[in-house]
Structure 1
């Protein structure tokens, strides 16, 4: 295998960052966008939900295409369509058109998973984890950096400028992908049938993973709880920071994305650890760290330093587990990495949505402490899921050893 060059890693990490930003950038400017588009207070949740709904649909319907067609061409085309969705959002005359644009951008933002599958396919085995870690760092950069960008642009140039910038960046990256990446050179195997038939089979294979693959089930469930915990923090953090005694504005709240970014980038070595066979233990202690981060995050008075430390720890833990999971799954299923990653990320999407919904409910019911207890509970469930999987693996190994000994 020729591997992935440094320039290619940078371009693909930027693709991940910009594409996923189109799903999350609306959150810091939601009130301004809603007022401009004529949305009532009760309808403000729909613009944020539209991107997530489109993203979930893309995970199920579009990601399997990455196992059937040339991924360089697919990445280029999807970036152009993300740009179209962002442009529609920027020019929308009303809420319905804006939500259609956001859903379109979210639908094709699953280019992120095609990127991961491309990197897994062209990387040398000893560099797969490192390369996956590098490009998926861009996902967290996009999720958290979108808050900083949107907060700053929203206060200075208006919320529509956020989507103008994202549309331009997507088009520029589409050109860069076409110039920098090489075709992955895959051709259909003899006897595999038409593309439509292979696509139908790929969808069926995604569904069967949940039923037949224990590693996938475990990692999917861990992702569900992992990103429910992550979503609880980042969907609810603006509430205590915007309230007494801090009363921060949109720009100041958005800057907390830089704190999370420091933690996420600190986990870039998780891919190297996975390359050395440590994906499972890294997942275990990172999930334990995720649980520990929440008591710190709960402390917002009289100083915010414990919260800052807790956010760094949380984002470090989330990224370390996320990279480890994708390394394990793409190694176990190298021939259908796209479909496996798409199915895995469906758990991510559902978990993120659950975290967003329950954080608002918990804050209304019991304040920031209740919100943090909810996030910690999700983290603990993820750790229990990991421990249960490790226990079953050890039992299976012990049973096989007994069988081989003839006892």
Structure 2
């Protein structure tokens, strides 16, 4: 099994191109099930989760191809993928596929919308809390589906098609909003989604659906209106930049010091994380190329953050920010409000010398003068990259094991950091 080795102490300087967003790419790929025509996605990131979802979609009959590299194309350029589901050959998403990636459960919506039925295994994914699918199924029920849980599978049926309705989520759910959008796009009549997720990835899916012929208004706000259409067409769509990747590298520069341009991303996508970094003493300047992050000489100030749905501080950046706070002057409090089991990185950061105490859903971090390299183990996708960030300043060598978690969500991480001065290598296992 591959591992990543880091020798800490180098500042980061240069340019890091930001890849397409994993959290946008996955629902966009799943939306290909809604039409028998071609959906072309540009700027698709090269990630293990993207490859795994392609295999899952292939099980349902989606033909999937990637354009070859073009003349003058840089290694950082995203892929262009073509997906076409001429015929749905199987409406069952089996456990052995769905258990490997939680987002694949979302195929339940387009399969139901197009075929009138679906049988989808209850999901797996990162072990960061139960993250039940009850709200996703509730949304389908509101659109006229019947639902039964049978042997670990959700069996949903709407033999006469889905019908528009009112869906009010009791709490914000990105997955639930994705599912509701895809199901309602071709439902008869109009659908109103209240307390919808406002994440940019939701708006990106709605934008793509509209290019396919859907009639969606209000995506990116808490109220979304959908007027169902009889069928959807093919489309050409570019995946938006990955705000979590951008926030991760911004935090890495804040940790090491240096000056980095995050190329291809706007401040609006990562406004709250950038505000927190500014409070910590980091200089941030946006321009037409991207966002420049710099910390030269000044120390790191302690900052309290609490995770929240967009536009709040993302739960997917909580572990990275905690790594930064291990070197801050003073004490910071980091509160996790989204998932109940997302502090598994705390023990591994402690192996590097961090001082962190847990009190319920809050981590109290006392900054230390130095971290020391050690072998550590990735426990989930975002936790794994927090260990990389800590390793970039730890004295000596840090070895991050089980980096398959990293490959699920970060494209060429060691190459991007290494090109900016980090002493980091991947060691094949």
TM above 0.5, one fold?
Answer: no
* Shorter-chain TM band: under 0.3
* TM-score (normalizing by structure 1): 0.26
Structure number having the greater helix percentage: 1
Q: Give the structure with the larger strand fraction.
A: 2
